[in-house]
Amino acid sequence: MSISLILPGIAAVLVAVAAGFMRWSIAPRTAMRVLTAVAALTSTTVFVVAATTAGGLVGRSGIGLAILERCPRLSAHHQVGTLEGLLSVVALGFMVFRMCRVVRVRRWAVSGTKGRHLAILDTDEPIAYAAPGKPGCVVVSRGLLRELDSNERRVLFAHERAHLAQNHHRYLLVGALAHAVVPVLGRLVRQIQLATERCADEVAVAATGGDREAVAATIGRAALATAAFGGTLGAFGGGSIPVRVEALLGEPDRSVVTGLLFVAVAVAVGALAASSLQMHHLYGLAAHVCGQ
């Protein structure tokens, strides 16, 4: 198999992994969007490379050769050995299994919330999360509500409604699926989760008239709030609690160098992903389908 197929993809993964170890002092909404794009590009690259390699093995079979004869534009110039082809098939099955599990967990989390604005769970376990849908539902447990006073409850609900209003579940779902495809992206995906929580924290600050100390104190009180849904939904106790509190109480740190490095990481992953995906393969398929 040509090294040109896999080397850019490996490089993209390495850059994305390195990005997960950085602490980006930039606006959380920008971080959320760009890091989600990085995760999506990286995982798509890995998935397509695995699928291409697995397809190369299938292409050596009688059925595969027959398809290639009927579709001359679908060239199989990347030679795939039996071992690497089998490994790709196993990896592809592993990815699909993990992605399906993410989707199942998310569906379970939002079940029973359709058409509701609020759902209160009759449990002492501290739980608070935002379930997307129409109109979108804030799910909270009685145990957590008992632990918070009226002002803290206002912070909690403002935070969770911000998750719904800003569609954070979409970014979190992309991150969770990317992690399912490429497990080493765990730290990058946690950065996405932290960025969504920081966005919601800032909305909660606005809802309390700018009282950042009150929001920080509420986050500390609800630090044990859980939502074991694979990180696909905005949860009040999500992200790093110390980092969230520090961001609320500390001075904003906007480094030009950090911003430029952030842009460089995004551009590098995009370029590497494009190199590995090799768009001329897709062009050849489109040309064949169009009869050109």
Residue 99 lies in a domain: yes
Alpha-carbon Rg for the chain, nearest whole angstrom, is 22
Residue whose C-alpha is closest to residue 28's, from 246, 264, 281, 289 = 246
Residue 291 lies in a domain: no
Q: Whole-angstrom Cα distance, residue 84 to residue 135?
A: 47
Q: How many structural domains comprise the chain?
A: 1
Residue 284 lies in a domain: no
pLDDT per position as a tens digit, 174-226: 999 999 999 999 999 999 999 999 999 999 999 999 999 999 999 988 766 76
Residue 7 lies in a domain: no
Residue 289 lies in a domain: no
User: Please, what is the angle between helix 186-207 and helix 3-21, to 10°?
Assistant: 40
pTM of the model: 0.84
Residue 16 lies in a domain: no
Residue 158 lies in a domain: yes
Domain enclosing residue 121, as ranges: 24-47+91-272
Residue 8 lies in a domain: no
pLDDT per position as a tens digit, 26-84: 889 999 999 999 999 999 989 988 887 777 666 555 444 454 455 554 444 456 567 77
> Both ends of the chain: CA-CA distance in Å?
28
